[in-house]
Structure 1
Amino acid sequence: MSTVRISTPRLFFRAVSGKLKSLRSGLTEPLRPMRLRAGRPGAFHVMTPGYHYGDKKIGQDILSGQFNYSGQSVDVGSQGDPWTVNMPSVSYAAWLHSFTWMNDLLSVGPKAKGKVEEKAAAIRLRGLVDNWITHYGQWNNFNWDTAILTPRLWYWMVHWSPVLSSDNASAKAATRRAIVMRQMKYLRQHYKPLPSSFLKLQAAATLTLFGARLTEKSDGYLARGLDWLDDEIEKQILPDGGHISRNPETTLNCLDVLLTLDLLLADRGVEGSRTLSRAIDRMVPMVAFFCHGDGALACFQGGGPNDANRISTILQAAPGEAKPFAYGHHTKYQRLAAGQTILILDGGTTPPVGYDTEAHLAPLALEISTDLGRLLVNCGWNESQALGWRRPIRSSAAHSTLTLDSSSPGQLLPKNWMSKYWGEAVLKEAGPVKAQHKEQEAGIWVESTHSGYVPSTGLAHRRRLFMSTDGMDIRGEDSLYVPLGHSPLSREERPFDIRFHFHPDVRVSLSQDQSSALIVHKGQAGWRFRTDGGPLTLEDSVYLGEGHKPVKCQQLVISGRALSDNDGEGRTNRVRWSFRRLENRH
């Protein structure tokens, strides 16, 4: 009799590890410190960021007084103050008070109208910071939450020179420094209870950078911050350079923070740790590994595409060569690249407890891109989307993979008291998963399996992939089988669907015999999809990787009914399919 693995240990570990409070999702309510004397530090050291990126259009909107986020907007005019108006939502308020838009505002000039417009952006930013200090500098229960305070302090410290320190001798500059000191002391007080996450890594980097900025006694901020940062790097950054959450976007965000800090420390003449520099060296090729043909990231495990310009800027500023490899030994992703075609496969399982609050239940999901951009996608995600979509897009049906019994191979915590304490965590993992990668003269082969459905159905899922050396021929085989050493749980048939979600730039036409389809990419390149399974249907889908609303797109679905006692070689339990690129029509 096969052993059924239950999920209780995941929750038991949470309880006994003492992490209950720190694993809560959303914004917590910080306790006001009993004593928090700010002091008035002297002028900070001048340290200039090694690179800069931002959306100039967003920056120009902010300069004119329009603060737009996630489809919501507040217009206060070019001289107005957004800090005293009603906010459209909690998420909007968190974005506004975190100051993550600073990069966008400061991207205005000098390429546009030269120094005049650049100076206007800096003056506008100083005014916004000073007005924020007037209203919230002493204390506020909402925007002093560490999830908002940490990025705010990070961006203030990164851009302190020359933007926020250009009038260092003035009373306003002295007040800014005092309020920064006050917030930093609060962050240091509340650092240790933070759960190990990107937020904690950013908090450690922020405290480190603050210590390097101080010209007077640092009170241990620099040394202690570096120690804390090294601890988080050891916990979070895997040996292959990926983040332990297996989220490509989180990997990029960590590289951005670590590289920015390292360059600022070098500008200050302070040597960072070997742990920091080695992590950067590992992460650069890992970020390149996750990039599609359009220069943006693959959408897996809660991450979105992000901005290609930001990614390119970070990789160009990093040391060494941003050369992707074929297989992430620790993140467990597979990359098949030939000609102008890139295929990325998720060959891993649910990340560890505490890093799974955004994890997807879709092992063996894949994405494909070409020289024209994204072809095959998962439903994707970006932080501008409505939070109501966050949970649905974590299911297997929202990915280009197989779904058995109309359910995902894993389970999220139900929406009840448990999720209030543990967050949107995973109750039952989607795995285990195994994968093998081979490169031969004919092309690239990957064979992968996962056992996420074995406890409930007795069947494992195997996905075999092949890509030709020119990247114009992609073949796949999906099968459902009873693993060795296991007995069938029943003899009934199990319905399954194999989904292929296409990017909104792709148009699909189904053939009359429902065994093939014509795929047109941006009206230029054509692909022919064929399968020996079926029926093959064309259905609607949505893509959330861009904008603040889901974009309608299409998906091909191969449906069938698998026998529960099969070895995966029969026609009922095995489906073969292929993508072949057609000659250009132009």
Structure 2
Amino acid sequence: MANTSHISLRSRVSTPRTALDLAAQRIRDILPSRPSGALPTRAPGAFHPAKPSLSLGDAEKAASLLAGQFHFAGQILDVGPWTTAAPSRHFADWLHRFAWLHDLLAVDSEAHHAKARTLIDTWIETYGRGNDFVFDADRLSDRLFNWLALWSPALSVSGLEDSDMARGGSGPVVERRRASVLRQLTALRGSLKSLPPGLSRITAGCALAMGGARMTDGKSQFLERGLDLLDDELLLQILPDGGHISRSPEVSAIALRQLLTLDTLLAERGLEGSRELSRAIDRLAPMVAFFRRAGGELAPFNGGGEMDAADIVELLRAAPGEPKAFGYGPHSGYQRLAANGSVALLDTGMAPPRPFDMGAHLAPLAMDLSTPEGPMITACGFNPEQPEIWRRPVRAAAAHSTLILDNRSPGSLLMSEWKRRVVGDAVEFLAGPVKATRKEQDSGIWLECHHEGYFGSYGLSHRRRIFMPRDGHDIRGEDSLFAPMGSVPLRRDQVPFAIRFHVHPKVRVSLSQDQSSALLVVDGKAGWRFRTDGGQVHLEDSVYLAKGSAPIKTQQIVIRGQAFCDSDGESRSNRVRWSFRKLKPADKGPRKTEADTAAKLADLPVASNQAPDIKPEETEAGTE
């Protein structure tokens, strides 16, 4: 009898057991997130004026903000933001978090400082008493963090608040700002239980601790509460290899930025943090370096965007020591292959546990490939400025560079609307298990990985093998679908599959006349030849959402086939080999035929322990 212990996949949905449980959940959602009762209005003493240690603002956006123009998600607000209705709720959410304050203050001038003070003062006048929207615990955490991180240039007239009191009439204004911060800190401390799990709780811990550290008149309860919250959350959320439990590279970078900002402020005040804070920083920094592409920006996995390469450089520069990228994140479930400037990052993990799976993507073995000239193969990605309508579709396997069987993702997201209202946009069935084996030899790096996300429905596992030589110029891969040894085939027919390679918008692609290969020119600087023995290569439309405020039109290379459900994965129907090889600068050579392509791929190893037969590549044409 076949071993079926790993066939069934249990539902991960945790739904209310009774109508009473459901009602209680709905009541918690409806109730205001801010605490009831009177909140303090008396201003605390002067705040410590330590300058921000790490501000990753965009100076190019400062000019429009100084002119009163707010740009976000393709929408514009050019009238006073607190007296005019925002274009959308999404826009209002961004406004009230004050992340744009870093961009405004990226230019160090009195005009920009004065504009920041005016915008904050008018916010306090309009919304200082709070409402359920602006005092939502999640928005409250972000707003406090951004205010407190930038307090010295943004909220004091001269940089030293004691001198503000000597400026006739300016003292009460500064007192009102400090009173607002105290009021919001008190509200946040009372509404921590309503925070969503994940990064928001780390932000809240940093905001509370920074509030306590800024105050000079003994408000240590905020510092202690913030550090206690951080100790608990960092232990839970930061994995031993340094990744965030959400498995999002961007979330890891944001968490590192927040912790470094807090740690520097504590050092300025001569205050001691905690062991968990130091350990989290030490773990996060190398992991952020791990996720960098060849050009320095982040690879867009699990709901994250690119993040600017210059910001990542500043972030790692602020971290202690010299964070170095490593090869394998065993707890986060990622592999990094790097050689001579080429970097391949592969997702070899499963969706994170509930409740940290709300942004998880269903794309095991997805690949991001970048070169010294720029990113080449990637996923659709996502960033907060993109239209929300895209957030769910890009979580599917088809939005990533991997194999898709029968046009279905391995695993699934919640489909029931009422379950999503109660649980969140979570993962219902896991895309796994996922396993990977890595070997580093003198010739290069081998990676063999497979997942069983399609096993329960089709009886097939997907295996991906990749080899990157030491020169980084000839990346070879193999995708196969196989029935695991000892298992009984669930069906004996053929199932369609597609292997997708989404191309970065900076890459120009052209197919050969016989559609057996493709030429990719990366950022107009270097050419790479894509070949496969899987038949004709197709070029289809794709979109890129990892940067910008609107989907960027791009393309994807697609190989299609029909796999037998009872195959061992070694037959031509169930195995496709492919390669990306950098072209050498030379004159045009003869055009390659499909037979040439098959011959070229014939030396691709079929087992990870087989030495690769790499031969010098003959000169190839630089254009089609």
CA distance in 2, matches of 1:546, 1:155: 22
Consecutive unaligned residues in structure 2, runs of 5 or more: 166-170, 587-621
CA-CA distance at 1:513 after TM superposition: 2.5
Mapped contact 2:12–2:427 kept (Cα < 8 A): no
Relative to the length of structure 2, the TM-score reads 0.88
Aligned partner letter, 1:75: D
Name the residue aligned to 1:509: 510
User: CA-to-partner distance for each residue in 1:521-579, whole Å, 9 max, x for gaps?
Assistant: 12221111111113321111111122111111111111011111111111111110111
Name the residue aligned to 2:181: 180
Mapped contact 1:5–1:455 kept (Cα < 8 A): yes
Name the residue aligned to 1:361: 362
User: CA-to-partner distance for each residue in 1:253-276, whole Å, 9 max, x for gaps?
Assistant: 000001110011001110111111
Which shifted more, 145-154 or 505-514? 505-514
The answer to whether structure 1 residue 230 and structure 2 residue 231 are counterparts is yes
User: CA-to-partner distance for each residue in 1:126-177, whole Å, 9 max, x for gaps?
Assistant: 0100000001001222111112111100111111124313354210110111
Name the residue aligned to 2:565: 564
Mapped contact 1:25–1:420 kept (Cα < 8 A): no
Name the residue aligned to 2:36: 33
CA distance in 1, matches of 2:17, 2:94: 29
CA distance in 1, matches of 2:233, 2:304: 20
CA-CA distance at 1:195 after TM superposition: 3.4
Change in Cα spacing, 1:469 to 1:316, as seen in structure 2 (3 Å) is same
1:414-563 equivalences under 5 Å are: 414=415, 416-563=417-564
1:103-502 equivalences under 5 Å are: 103-109=102-108, 118-166=109-157, 167=161, 168-169=164-165, 170-218=171-219, 220-414=221-415, 416-502=417-503
Q: Which has the larger radius of gyration?
A: 2
Change in Cα spacing, 1:251 to 1:173, as seen in structure 2 (3 Å) is same
CA distance in 1, matches of 2:196, 2:326: 31
Aligned partner letter, 1:164: L
CA distance in 1, matches of 2:497, 2:556: 15
Aligned length: 573
Mapped contact 1:23–1:195 kept (Cα < 8 A): no
Mapped contact 2:563–2:574 kept (Cα < 8 A): yes
Secondary structure, aligned partner of 2:555: strand
Secondary structure, aligned partner of 1:48: coil
Selected match of 1:43 from 43, 46, 59: 46
Name the residue aligned to 1:5: 8
Name the residue aligned to 2:98: 99
CA distance in 1, matches of 2:126, 2:306: 36
Aligned partner letter, 2:81: P
User: CA-to-partner distance for each residue in 1:409-452, whole Å, 9 max, x for gaps?
Assistant: 01111151111122211111111101111110111100000011
CA distance in 1, matches of 2:300, 2:153: 36
Aligned partner letter, 2:424: G
Aligned partner letter, 2:77: V
CA distance in 2, matches of 1:475, 1:28: 55
Selected match of 1:56 from 30, 54, 59: 59
CA distance in 2, matches of 1:524, 1:24: 58
Name the residue aligned to 2:88: 89
Secondary structure, aligned partner of 1:364: coil
Secondary structure, aligned partner of 2:438: strand
What is the RMSD of the two structures over their aligned residues, measured on CA atoms? 2.2
Change in Cα spacing, 1:129 to 1:348, as seen in structure 2 (3 Å) is same
Name the residue aligned to 1:113: none
CA-CA distance at 1:371 after TM superposition: 1.1
Change in Cα spacing, 1:21 to 1:395, as seen in structure 2 (3 Å) is farther
Residue identity (%):
51
CA-CA distance at 1:47 after TM superposition: 2.1
Relative to the length of structure 1, the TM-score reads 0.94
1:8-27 equivalences under 5 Å are: 8-11=11-14
CA distance in 2, matches of 1:214, 1:14: 46
Mapped contact 1:304–1:381 kept (Cα < 8 A): yes
CA distance in 2, matches of 1:379, 1:28: 37
Which shifted more, 185-194 or 298-307? 185-194
